[in-house]
Amino acid sequence: MKKSRMLAVLGGGIFCVAVMSLYRMLELMQGAELKQHMDKPNGQDEDLSLLQQKIERLELLLSNNNRLVATLRDTLIQRKASWETGRGANGSSGSARQLPGCRLAEEIKEGTDEVQLLDVYDLLPFDNPDGGAWKQGFDIRYQGNEWDEQPLEVFLVPHSHNDPGWLKTFDRYYEDQTKHILDNMLIKLSEDSRRKMIWAEISYFSKWWNGINEQKREAVKRLVGAGQLEIVTGGWVMADEANSHYFAMLDQLMEGHQWIQRHLGVKPITGWAVDPFGHSPSMAYLLKGAGLSHMVIQRVHYAIKKHFSQQRTLEFLWRQSWDSSPRSDITCHMMPFYSYDVPHTCGPNPAVCCQFDFHRLPGGRVFCPWRIPPQPITEQNVQESPSPIGPVPQKSRLFRSPVLMVPLETTSARRRARGRQFTNYQKLFDCPTSTRSCVKARFGTLSDYFSALSRRVAAGTTLPTVRGDFFTYADRDDHYWSGYFTSRPFYKRLDRMLEATLR
């Protein structure tokens, strides 16, 4: 209201000043002409003609000034109406209706089960109340009979995230960690056909491949062909989705896919993005174009995760904002909790989940910060847990289908520690107790999980449609991961120049 009054007063002032200035100019000119007439009485006709021309010129200037003032008045009226519309609605909807070719969300919405992330951002207070055991969430309750008719199907997905260039050089990171992880993967998966694992970063995988003999390469191909080892996303790296130019995102994806096709003869169909700081629909569009149909994301603002968990929309069809058809849809799973490590993947209580991270058994380098360590699974304690993976039934209440994906981080470079994960979990899976009949758990890949989810969708489970992006990422309180948007400008510029040279 104050802005509209100020603009109205300003417009009126401009109009008054313009009129008074013209009036004063006319008065001075008339006075000058009168004086000249008194000095030259014989040139009366000529003077009157000159005076008439000047008056006509002033009238023209005054007409132009009136049109200018009228335009200013109309602009003020339009701005006032726009502000009033913005206060009553969304602020931008009025302008959007005036833009030719602009498609409104209301016009392309095909059903009530659709989520517009801009609307969600306007809806949420972005506060961070204490949610109890799940600090950034809420208390999850269940009766225990939800799966009497249809057992809960759980896929435990072993994975290992390796960051090229993080803290160490690429080669040092590989020698210290990645090489041993992949060596152990080949051994442990070959020992038991029930064991499975996924891998994403092809830059490291290709380096490891170059260092193994032909016999091991054939073993890797057998594991891939049998579905025990799945290559997910297939990019050279797990690309950033905020700063990266689309050419860089596409180029690293092509590099990885060409290597996979040339050496393994397969094509990735699922995406795995657990460490980019926020997620872009542009990356989802590129993955869809590359032949992927499903993907998993992790680093999303904790308030958005809480909202999606409350609405049970963590599994959704991610659709491009400009597309009114489902041709750009990609099925997406959003992890609901803080991180992708074991304490934050099996359920809402990290202190309980940490007891199922057998990489943290007493005596190792890594321990549970909640001071309740895991214990090796034995015949005596295997029946104590009502479910194979502790609080998994609680986590399942955040999803619409009786199919659940539980990531199992296996980043240890030590062979003994990796064997503990597979061995202890298999004992939990194999325990035949009546209390666990409602939960069927096993190792799986992303393709295993999404195939089971697709069967549930075909049987009647509906997934919502989501439009928009998941920026800016915050993992707690007001800790927004946005500084890297503008930091290190020299290296960002150098990166763009190198990309242009590649193109």
Angle among Cα 428, 403, 377 to the nearest 5 degrees reads: 10
Helices (H) and strands (E) in the chain, counts: 17, 11
CA 288 to CA 256: how far, in whole Å? 16
Phi and psi angles of residue 229, each rounded to the nearest 5 degrees, phi first: -115, 120
Phi and psi angles of residue 230, each rounded to the nearest 5 degrees, phi first: -115, 130
CA 320 to CA 289: how far, in whole Å? 12
Q: Is 295 helix (H, G, I), strand (E, B) or coil?
A: strand
CA 404 to CA 152: how far, in whole Å? 7
Cβ(283)–Cβ(252) below 8 Å: no
| Pairing mode, strands 229-231 and 315-319 | unpaired
| From 163, 275, 323, 475, the catalytic residue | 275
Question: What's the token pair of residue 226?
Answer: 């049998």
Q: How many CB atoms lie within 10 A of CB 101?
A: 4
Indicate if 275 belongs to the active site. yes
Cβ(461)–Cβ(401) below 8 Å: yes
In sequence order, the 6+-apart residues with CB closer than 8 A to the CB of 153 are 402, 403, 404, 440, 452
In sequence order, the 6+-apart residues with CB closer than 8 A to the CB of 94 are 81, 82, 85, 86
Q: How many CB atoms lie within 10 A of CB 421?
A: 23
Cβ(121)–Cβ(127) below 8 Å: no
- Number of Cα atoms under 13 Å in the Cβ half of residue 351: 7
Instruction: Give long-range contacts, CB 8 A cutoff, 24+ apart: 173-182.
Output: 174/204, 174/207, 174/208, 176/413, 177/411, 177/413, 178/204, 178/207, 178/208, 179/208, 179/211, 179/413, 180/413, 180/414, 180/415, 181/410, 181/411, 181/412, 181/413, 181/418, 182/208
* Residues assigned a catalytic role: 275
